[in-house]
Amino acid sequence: MPTDILVMVESSEARLGSLRSLGEVHYAPGATERAAVIAAHGPKIRALVTNGSIGVQAAEIELLPALGIIIAVGAGFENIDLAAARARGIAVAHGPGTNDAAVADHAFALLLGVARDLLHSDRQVREGLWDASRRMRPGVAGKRLGILGLGRIGLGVARRGEGFGMEIGYHNRHRRDDVPYRYHASLRDLAEASDFLVAVAPGGPETRHIVDAEVLRALGPKGFLVNVGRGSVVDNAALAAALHGGTIAGAGLDVLDGEPNVPAELLSAPNLLFTPHVAGRSPDAVAAGLRLLMSNLAAFFEGRPLVTPVP
């Protein structure tokens, strides 16, 4: 049977080229393109490639009668309608573990960058303001590191924190018995016990805006927030108010609720360092993700168990 593959996520030519070795690829990274492809080719599509942020909804799945497998690039799958997929017997896979190191590295880059105010200092030096840029900024070594979401990436952040001699705590849905770090039963308590709070939590209704005004007040005027998980975890309005009002010392964001649209109150906020959702984009991570994507597709088309099925 011919294989038509719908790719709903932004993809490199290397990924598209590999997928073309399996069949006809319909590349539709935008909503308008996606609707057009589904209208024109929906009955033929057997495989769908997406990610946790874009997902795929029940209404779209209904228009794909031949669909047999959905694969999320990356670990997240929060916006894939699993109930609709399973009702149809559609296999669902994801890509855990492929970009853990890159995201953990990036979390620390943001943490160090905003704490030491590297971007502002660089700009001042370039403007000839050498002396003005020589301000006191807090260090990281020996400080308290709180991690929201102690999964694979969270553990990577914790291990990097150990290298800085940091005291590490975490908040999860459940306590982990396999780590030496201090567990906090509430996010507010974790924030209160942290100098740096790093959010690595997955998206979805359970975590939406859990970093709110109360949590930011608990983090306090000397505390820093870093988010490399999902943008929806942080309340944009509460964060903007906290930065403008000095409730917290600063923040580093790789993800943003409503991205790529950035609210004006965040663009104008002091002590805020942005990157455009690139934490997991390293050559090693991209190559590992492509290998896993192709392995899951090969397993499906050959009738073998998926390599990394969604639990």
Instruction: Name the DSSP letter for residue 9.
Output: S
Stretch (H or E) spanning 252: strand 250-253
Active site residues: 230, 259, 277
The distance of Cα 278 from the centroid of its chain, to the nearest Å, equals 9
> Which of 137, 144, 197 lies closest to 168, judged by CA?
144
Write the DSSP symbol of residue 205.
G
Which residue type is seen at 233?
V
d(CA 12, CA 114): 30
Rg from Cα positions in the chain: 21
CA distance 199 to 235: 12
User: Is the alpha carbon torsion for 156, 157, 158, 163 positive or negative?
Assistant: positive
Q: Please give the structure tokens belonging to residue 108.
A: 């620390």
Give dist(CA 118, CA 307) in Å, integer: 41
Position 295, amino acid: S
Side chain identity, residue 2: P
Cβ neighbours, 10 Å, residue 205: 7
Per the CB < 8 A criterion, the answer to whether 251 and 273 are in contact is yes
State how far the Cα of 138 lies from the Cα of 116, in Å rounded to an integer.
6
